[in-house]
Structure 1
């Protein structure tokens, strides 16, 4: 793959708007064909999404309102990694907030990726980290925090869950988990 990075130049930053959630940047870039382009991008903190499992079932929090879509959506637990946090710190805070559990309530907490996946590389620097959080069998997650639908930890459950998930990040982490677990099962034989 040819490296065109050195052929692109930032000529000017003409706008920078900062907020606690994101920074919007407008720049003039010169591309590899010497064209001058106005380019807009967003800088955001990284995010994590956790596949939460207990007793052979996926555990999902109640749907929440998403202002970008103007509707509630079904999602795995997830959220932002604050600048002063590690991804594991963020996971701990999110599990406490969204499911009311802590790391000591888990059998395992495994990352699906060590290097973040680019969420939208042409528009943003934000990366996504996926985790598997398996909850101990006897831990009781407060029912008021959970959806009432049950998705089993099998092919039919995954198919049904994929039909109901609209969040591409959640869908991608679920598919990565499925691939990861399949690779583990293959190594057992």
Structure 2
């Protein structure tokens, strides 16, 4: 049987704050009275927006990811500022990454309302996913368009070969599970 008893914080070893994250080291006592040293990161929640237009997935240009030391393809996304909700963060993200205005979005559907834990043993950060259907008339600046993939079985198979971000893959696969159950892929 699982215990619902939270672990006790015995002492904080260190706390390092930066604009991007807070790193915390603590001594904890678990529900079996074991003393453990544990490190965790507190970060702002994230939003990823799966963008589609004219039956294609739309991506901004690939970006350099310092943690990987690589350039990767990702759906538009970013951190949720402290003074905003995930929904309120979307406009600025889409403007920055694809150069589109909120009025150019025909529909915006949340994929989750609670937020999915990104790495619950190490971080408090949650991920919120949205699907944005961009108006067929909206013009995306070619400098802001990194890639597009048709929403077909072949297009999704190719996209999954190139999409290495687990968060982006999770959003795509969750959408695919829901979408394919309702409408199907050609």
| Shorter-normalised TM range | over 0.9
169, 175, 178: which is aligned to 1:180? 178
CA contact (8 A) 1:12 1:28 kept: yes
1:13 and 1:51 map into 2 onto residues whose CA distance is 39
Q: How many residues align?
A: 184
String of CA shifts for 1:9-52, please: whole Å, max 9, x gaps: 11111111111100000000011221111100000000010110
User: Is 1:159–2:157 an aligned residue pair?
Assistant: yes
134, 147, 150: which is aligned to 2:148? 150
How far 1:180 sits from its partner (Å)? 2.0
- Aligned position for 1:86: 85
How far 1:177 sits from its partner (Å)? 1.0
CA contact (8 A) 1:53 1:133 kept: yes
Gaps of 5+ in 1: none
Q: TM-score, normalised by structure 1?
A: 0.93
CA contact (8 A) 1:50 1:132 kept: yes
User: Is 1:30–2:29 an aligned residue pair?
Assistant: yes
Deviates more, 1:153-162 or 1:7-16: 7-16
- Aligned position for 1:50: 49
SS of structure 2 residue aligned to 1:6: coil
String of CA shifts for 1:57-86, please: whole Å, max 9, x gaps: 010000011110111100000000011011
Going from structure 1 to structure 2, the CA distance change for 1:69 and 1:6 (only over 3 Å counts) comes to same
Deviates more, 1:4-13 or 1:19-28: 4-13
Q: CA RMSD in A?
A: 1.3
Aligned positions of 1:1-189 closer than 5 A:
2=2, 4-6=3-5, 8-147=7-146, 149-185=147-183
Q: TM-score, normalised by structure 2?
A: 0.95
Going from structure 1 to structure 2, the CA distance change for 1:56 and 1:7 (only over 3 Å counts) comes to closer
Going from structure 1 to structure 2, the CA distance change for 1:5 and 1:20 (only over 3 Å counts) comes to farther
1:20 and 1:5 map into 2 onto residues whose CA distance is 33
Going from structure 1 to structure 2, the CA distance change for 1:7 and 1:53 (only over 3 Å counts) comes to closer
Gaps of 5+ in 2: none
2:4 and 2:55 map into 1 onto residues whose CA distance is 46
